[in-house]
């Protein structure tokens, strides 16, 4: 009786579905904290490793308003 379990846990997919690193504002503490969380969430082997969470963090960084910034981002 051959139990063909083809469902192997893919452990070689690291690095393929990694989202693009977000661009945090250089002088923003919030963005700085978010990018740190993003790095932990994208670090393979990290207890905080969670790519879907990393995507959320990246969106949060990109959406973070910086009205104090000189000039307007169009
Ligand atoms: Zn910010």
Ligand 1 centroid distance, CA of 29 (Å): 7
Q: Does the global pTM surpass 0.75?
A: no
For 32, phi then psi, to 5°, come to -65, -40
**26-73 pLDDT per residue, tens:** 899 999 999 999 999 999 999 999 999 999 999 999 999 997 556 655
pLDDT at 21: 82
- Judged against a pLDDT cut of 60, whether residue 12 lies above it is answered with no
pLDDT at 13: 47
pLDDT at 74: 52
pLDDT at 5: 59
For 26, phi then psi, to 5°, come to -60, -35
Q: How far does CA 21 lie from the centroid of its chain?
A: 7
Q: Which residues surround ligand 1, an ion (CB under 5 A)?
A: 25, 28, 30-31, 64
Ligand 1 centroid distance, CA of 11 (Å): 34
């Amino acid at each position: 009786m051959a139990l063909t379990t083809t469902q192997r846990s893919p452990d070689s997919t690291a690095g393929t579905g990694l989202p693009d690193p977000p661009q945090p504002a250089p002088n923003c503490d919030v963005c700085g904290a978010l990018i740190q969380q993003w790095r932990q969430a994208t670090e393979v082997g990290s207890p905080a490793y969670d790519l879907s969470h990393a995507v959320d963090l990246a969106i949060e960084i990109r959406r973070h308003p910086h009205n104090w910034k000189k000039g307007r981002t169009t």
